[in-house]
Amino acid sequence: MHYRPVRYAAFLIALTLAAQTAPAKKKLLFLTHAGLYKHTSLGPAEKAVIELGKQGGFEVTTVEGYKQDAAKIDLSFISAEYLSQFDGIMMMTNGNLPLNDAQKKALLDFVASGKGFIGAHCAALTFYNYPAFGEMLGGYYHRSVKQNKIAVLKVEDPKHPATKMLGGSWPLVDEFYLFGTAPWDTSHPDDNIDVLFKNHIPMGFSRERVHVLLSLDTAKTDMSDLPSEMKSSVDYPQAWWREYGKGRSFYTALGHRDDIWSNDPVFRAHILGGIRWALGMEK
């Protein structure tokens, strides 16, 4: 006559054990501090990533860095101890942010220890004064191809979580980037600089360093309205990944438009796949 209470108690115990053994959700820190230029898409990006976290099974911490004045950015909270509570860090930042050497090292050590890094759009304009960051991210911004440019992206890896939803190509309106190809040199002072803010590029992008996911398809994109240095034979990578120590680094140049974060399900799937891959949630 007592089997029902016993069975119910066993059920509760099973639920408790399941909760105890279920893996904790991955935790992502998202920084949007702008030291050079404050993209209007930073707010929508924070909102979108929080939503994607709920959809994708990870928790997102934001600090609304984009609301801070460029001259008063406060990143004093960044330390090895603070970062240790997270499984990954996402940056949609720009400029030589006010981190001291120990903080910068803590950031890179965090990723190299086995954690994830996600860089979006203007992250490639971050830390021109710290080449080790560019090594981890994969490259530095040289110039924009064009804002609100209609382009066709070639999907170079259709199996990666950030691109598996795209098929063979992806037509898109956004701002696309060209990256520095070599360290800035005094003998060629006009080459390999950030053309917007004149930062010297400390290291060049190389396909040997990263695995390219997306690039501009020059055969399907109208290149006639682009600057003369951008010949159709030039390589235009727009998203890639690399291993960094024991960690994973993912970067996409996309995300300039405000509405792409809120209204474009394909772009959101691209971002979500990149985040989940960097966090080790997908192979």
How far apart CA 144 and CA 170 sit, in angstroms, is 19
pLDDT tens-digit readout, 88-139: 999 999 999 999 999 999 999 999 999 999 999 999 999 999 999 999 999 9
Query: What is the dihedral angle through the alpha carbons of 118, 124, 128, 133, rounded to the nearest 10 degrees?
Result: 20
In this predicted structure, what is the pLDDT of residue 226?
76
Rounded mean pLDDT, 236-248: 98
Q: Across residues 9-24, what is the average pLDDT?
A: 53
In this prediction, residue 143 carries a pLDDT of 93
**What is the Cα 147 distance to its own chain's centre?**
19
- pLDDT for position 183: 97
**Confidence band, pLDDT 50/70/90 cuts, at residue 231:** low
Q: What radius of gyration, in Å, describes the C-alpha atoms of the chain?
A: 21
Q: Which CATH superfamily is domain 23-278 in?
A: Class I glutamine amidotransferase (GATase) domain (3.40.50.880)
pLDDT tens digits, 57-77 = 999 999 999 999 999 999 999
Q: In the prediction, which pLDDT does 12 show?
A: 44
pLDDT at 233: 67
**38 backbone dihedrals φ, ψ, rounded to 5°:** -95, 95
> Would you state the pLDDT for residue 102?
98
